[in-house]
């Protein structure tokens, strides 16, 4: 079936063959001219598709133009934007100054805490090594009531073996538990 989509003159050839008789071939021309009603309906349908798209794109364009910075440096909105940027820069500079001052003041305390944390983690690591060694060599599973190696001390609260403390750890404990309180760091004077 012919369904041409453009107006004009079309040449068509039709061949009929039933399998027994000789095929019959006919050639004819077809002139296509759209009725005015079809053309009007097609234009209305195109406008129905394009109108919302154009409207949405127009709104996006207008909103986008509002958020663009002004082209003149003397425009009131540009002056307001510059003032807000300067105020934000001042606030950021104040925040950086406060952070630097706190870092200078807190550096000794933070360094002492980091050293204590390192000592604590070393102590825990040594205790775990002893526990693993006891388990691997003697089959003493921690917490099962198995005997620990002779001469090893145990934690009275948990009953787990505690590694012997190094001289450095004993010195740190003595400083922290002294009557004067924890040792304070004093930077050298220049």
Max mean pLDDT among 15-24, 26-35, 62-71, 76-85 falls in: 76-85
Model confidence at 69: pLDDT above 90: no
Whether 190 is covered by a domain: the verdict is no
Bridge partners of 24, per DSSP, are 16
Structural domain including 32 reads 8-67
Helix (H) or strand (E) holding 119: helix 76-133
Tell me the CA distances in angstroms from 29 to 16, 33, 47, 55, one per residue in order. Answer: 17, 13, 34, 45
Q: Which of the two residues, 81 and 179, has the higher pLDDT score?
A: 81
Model confidence at 7: pLDDT above 60: yes
Q: What is the pLDDT of residues 75-120, one digit of tens each?
A: 888 899 899 999 999 999 999 988 888 888 888 888 888 899 999 9
Structure tokens at 8: 């004009």
Tell me the CA distances in angstroms from 95 to 55, 99, 105, 108, one per residue in order. Answer: 46, 6, 15, 21
Q: Residue 163: what pLDDT?
A: 55
Residues 53 and 98 in one domain: no
User: What is the count of structural domains for the chain?
Assistant: 2
Residues 97 and 20 in one domain: no
Residues 127 and 84 in one domain: yes
Whether 187 is covered by a domain: the verdict is no
Query: E strands of 21-146, at which residues?
Result: 24-32
Q: Residue 58: what pLDDT?
A: 95
Residues 28 and 120 in one domain: no
Average of per-residue pLDDT values in the chain: 78
- Residue-wise burial string across 69-98, b where 16 or more C-beta atoms lie within 10 A, e elsewhere: eeeeeeeeeeeeeeeeeeeeeeeeeeeeee
Are 123 and 131 in contact by the 8 Å Cβ rule? The answer is: no
Please state, for a pLDDT cut of 70, what percent of the chain lies above it. 71
Whether 186 is covered by a domain: the verdict is no
To the question of pTM greater than 0.85 for the whole model, the response is no
Q: Which of the two residues, 130 and 154, has the higher pLDDT score?
A: 130
Residue 11 class from Cβ within 10 Å (0-12 exposed, 13-18 middle, 19+ buried)?
exposed
Whether 183 is covered by a domain: the verdict is no
Task: Provide mean pLDDT across the span 58-83.
Answer: 87
Distance CA 19, CA 158 (A): 102
Which residues have C-beta within 8 Å of that of residue 2, sequence separation ≥ 6? 10, 12, 30
């Amino acid at each position: 079936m012919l369904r041409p989509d453009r107006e004009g003159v079309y040449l068509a050839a039709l061949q009929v063959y039933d399998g027994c008789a000789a095929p019959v071939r006919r050639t004819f021309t077809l002139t296509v001219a759209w009725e005015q009603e079809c053309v009007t309906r097609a234009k209305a349908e195109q406008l129905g598709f394009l109108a919302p798209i154009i409207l949405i794109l127009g709104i996006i364009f207008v909103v986008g133009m509002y958020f663009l910075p002004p082209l003149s440096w003397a425009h009131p909105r540009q002056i307001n934007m510059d003032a807000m940027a300067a105020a934000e820069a001042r606030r950021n500079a104040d925040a950086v100054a406060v952070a630097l001052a706190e870092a200078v003041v807190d550096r000794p305390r933070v360094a002492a805490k980091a050293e204590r944390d390192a000592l604590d983690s070393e102590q825990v690591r040594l205790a775990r090594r002893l526990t693993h060694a006891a388990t691997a060599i003697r089959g003493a599973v921690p917490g099962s009531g198995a005997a620990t190696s002779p001469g090893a001390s145990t934690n009275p609260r948990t009953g787990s073996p505690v590694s012997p403390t190094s001289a450095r750890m004993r010195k740190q404990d003595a400083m922290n538990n002294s009557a004067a309180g924890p040792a304070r760091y004093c930077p050298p004077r220049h």
